[in-house]
Chain A
Amino acid sequence: NAGVTQTPKFQVLKTGQSMTLQCAQDMNHNSMYWYRQDPGMGLRLIYYSASEGTTDKGEVPNGYNVSRLNKREFSLRLESAAPSQTSVYFCASRQGSSSEAFFGQGTRLTVV
C-alpha cells in the first residue's frame, strides 16, 4: 500500500528558479492538502483541495500555486523560489471531514 507519495524527497533550488512538487494518493480520498513545516512554526496549511476540481487558500498561500490534476494527484508549484521558502513540505489526504489524514514522507526543499 503506497498511501501518499511525494516526489522529490530532496531538492535544492537557486533563488528565482521554479519547480513543482508532486503528490499522489491511492486511497480514493476526496481531500488533499499541502503543508510546510518550519521549526517553531509547526505545520502551516498552504493550499487544500476539498474535492476534485476545487482548491482553496490556506494560511500561507503567497508564492505558491496548486493544481488538482485529478482525484489522485495534487501538485504544488513555486514559480520563483525564495530563501524564505526553504522548508519541509508535506502532502496529505483524507476522505473528508472527521476522517483521518494520511501524510507523505515529506520533501526537504532548500533555496539558496
Chain B
Amino acid sequence: AQRVTQPEKLLSVFKGAPVELKCNYSYSGSPELFWYVQYSRQRLQLLLRHISRESIKGFTADLNKGETSFHLKKPFAQEEDSAMYYCALGNNQGGKLIFGQGTELSVKP
C-alpha cells in the first residue's frame, strides 16, 4: 500500500532562517515523489519532483530510500514562501497519486 506522512501541520520560521519540511513514505515498489505548493487563492502546482533533481525557488529535496524520506529544504526562507506544501507519492503501475496531510509554512518578517 502507498502512504505519505507529513508530520508537521504548521511550520513557522523567520525570514532568512533555514527550512525543512518533512515527508516520509511507504511503498514497496519504485516510488515517484513530488512536492506541490498551494499559495493563497491559487491552484495547487508542482514545485519539484525527485527524478528531476532540480532546485526550484531555492528549494531542494533528496530521495532517501533507506529512510524512505523526501524532505524539502531551503537554506534561507523568504516571506513569499509562505504557503501550504504537499508531498505526493506516485507509482509506475497504474498512475495512482496520493498526497500527504500538508504542511503550512509561515515565514515571518
Give bound CA distance, A6 to B96, whole Å.
20
B interface residue count range (under 10 / 10 to 19 / 20 to 34 / 35 or more)? 20 to 34
B107–chain A nearest beta-carbon distance, Å: 21
Stretch from B61-69, B74-82, B84-92 at the A interface: B84-92
Which residues of A sit under 8 angstroms from B95, Cβ to Cβ?
A: 30-31, 48, 50-51, 94, 96-97
B109–chain A nearest beta-carbon distance, Å: 26
Give bound CA distance, A41 to B5, whole Å.
11
CB < 8 Å: which of B46, B86, B93 contacts A100?
B46
A42 contacts B49, C-beta separation under 8 Å: no
A103 contacts B43, C-beta separation under 8 Å: yes
B90 contacts A58, C-beta separation under 8 Å: no
Give bound CA distance, A13 to B90, whole Å.
33
Give bound CA distance, A105 to B95, whole Å.
21
Which residues of A sit under 8 angstroms from B96, Cβ to Cβ?
A: 45, 48, 50, 56, 58
Number of interface residues of A (CB under 8 A): 28
- 0/1 interface trace, chain A 75-112, chain B, CB 8 Å (1 if under): 00000000000000010101011101101111000000
A43 contacts B92, C-beta separation under 8 Å: no
CB < 8 Å: which of B9, B43, B45, B90 contacts A98?
B90
CB < 8 Å: which of A40, A41, A42, A101 contacts B97?
A101
Give bound CA distance, A98 to B53, whole Å.
13
Which residues of A sit under 8 angstroms from B6, Cβ to Cβ?
A: 42
Chain B residues proximal to chain A, CB less than 8 Å: 6, 9, 32, 34, 36, 43-46, 49, 51, 86, 88, 90-102
21 sampled A-B residue pairs with Cβ under 8 A: A30-B95, A40-B9, A42-B86, A42-B102, A43-B86, A43-B102, A44-B98, A45-B99, A48-B97, A58-B96, A90-B44, A94-B97, A97-B91, A97-B93, A97-B95, A98-B49, A98-B51, A98-B92, A101-B34, A101-B88, A104-B43
